Amino acid sequence: MPLKYELIKKDKYTNARVGVIHTASGDIPTPIFMPVGTVGTVKTMTVDDLKEMGAKIILGNTYHLYLKPGMDIMKKAGGLHKFMNWDRPILTDSGGFQVFSLADNRKISEDGVMFRSHIDGSKHFFTPEKSIEIQNDIHSDIMMSFDECVDANASYDYVKNSMERTLRWAKRGLDYHKANSHPDQSLFGIVQGGMFKDLREISARETVAMDFDGYSIGGLSVGETKEEMIDILNFTTPLLPEDKPRYNMGVGTPDYLFESFEAGIDMADCVLPTRIARNGTALTSEGRVVIKNATYKEDFSPLDPECDCYTCSNYSRAYLRHLVNAKEILGARLLSYHNLYFLLKMCENIREAIMNDSFLDYKKEFYEKYGY
Ligand SMILES: Nc1nc2c(CCNCC3CCCC3)c3[nH]c(NCCc4ccccc4)nc3cc2c(=O)[nH]1
């Protein structure tokens, strides 16, 4: 059976809501942050780390997994859950965004996208059907439609034509999915339309009319201002059905997560927490800590005084700074663990606040302490 969304509680003063997404691989409490595991691993984390920190669902990447290790091995492994020993839900992106952000000389046409691998320059062709086929081979629990994500300053005409093609691609992918996917697999439509509300309205209405298992808001966090993001987010989210999950793609800083969940979004993902960790930056209750700073040279206090994670319970800022400066892999691992734990714990606190009709109080308290 495809996923079922269960609405549990709406916040009294905002569009925020608590729910549960029931999937064949397990239940997902929402609002939820989803750690990104691009090539079959959330970088430096074991699956036990992920369970210990409270990860309920992780992301896989169609584009990367298709290129390496490739679908031959993925199929022989019996899919990504078995391959990486993760028995909870997996969501996969459709690959379109990654083709445009990573591949070389790509060429877009009505049928699909021609691109050269950023790894070895080999030539490939993704179509809406091919994207679903690859997500099937991965045994993805929640699949994304093949879409084109346009950047924030694309012209009205380009965005209009692209959005209309993305609608045609969505229909093709949905037809292929209905004929070929396993009944336990779900498929989300993705709303595009750039920064233009009339195009967003058309995209939302036409995508919802196709009746997907859930809906993503695409084309955001692609270079627009925070105000533009919030404006399009607050315009588009209410156009999506209340009885299905809503996913804001590529959202990862605490404020963008708060704004998304306040608008009624249920799911979000971003490479940010693990990416900045590898560069020595931590998210803490008192804002970002750039651990390489000399300030922390003899600071033997925990990274985040309010955090009870493994990193904050066992190591000091001085030690973490030493590891990062010495380029020790343990530094990236301990900061990644903490950053993911921090966002997952923040989501848990948000769910609790919504249950008590105190989402705005928690947001205000968090923002003040974080320094927003
Ligand atoms: N299909 C699709 N995917 C999008 C994504 C990728 C979401 N993560 C996928 C995972 C699957 C595996 C990899 C990622 C987006 N990511 C962002 N912003 C990220 C901004 C960002 C990037 C890096 C650091 C911080 C912020 N906007 C996005 C828009 C779309 C979109 O319209 N369509």
ipTM entry: 0.99
- The confidence score (pLDDT) of residue 240 equals 98
The closest-lying atom of ligand 1 relative to the alpha carbon of residue 94 is 1
Question: Is 93 annotated as catalytic?
Answer: yes
- The confidence score (pLDDT) of residue 100 equals 87
- The confidence score (pLDDT) of residue 246 equals 99
Ligand 1 centroid, distance to 269 Cα (angstroms): 8
- The confidence score (pLDDT) of residue 41 equals 97
Question: Is 111 annotated as catalytic?
Answer: no
Q: Which of 154, 136, 147, 121 lies closest to 90 in space, CA to CA? A: 136
177 labeled binding residue: no
Q: Cα 299 from chain centroid?
A: 34
| Tokens (6 digits) for 147 | 């879409």
Write the pLDDT tens digit of every residue in 105-164: 899 999 999 999 989 999 999 999 999 999 999 999 999 999 999 999 999 999 999 999
Rounded Cα gap, residues 272 and 262, in angstroms: 20
Rounded to two decimals, the pTM is: 0.98
Q: In testing the pocket of ligand 1, which one of 43, 91, 97 has its CB within 8 Å of the most ligand atoms?
A: 97
338 labeled binding residue: yes
Shortest-distance Cα residue to atom 16 of ligand 1: 250
- The confidence score (pLDDT) of residue 189 equals 99
The list of the chain residues with pLDDT below 50 reads none
Rounded Cα gap, residues 235 and 231, in angstroms: 6
- The confidence score (pLDDT) of residue 103 equals 81
Ligand 1 centroid, distance to 270 Cα (angstroms): 7
- The confidence score (pLDDT) of residue 105 equals 86
Shortest-distance Cα residue to atom 3 of ligand 1: 97
- The confidence score (pLDDT) of residue 102 equals 85
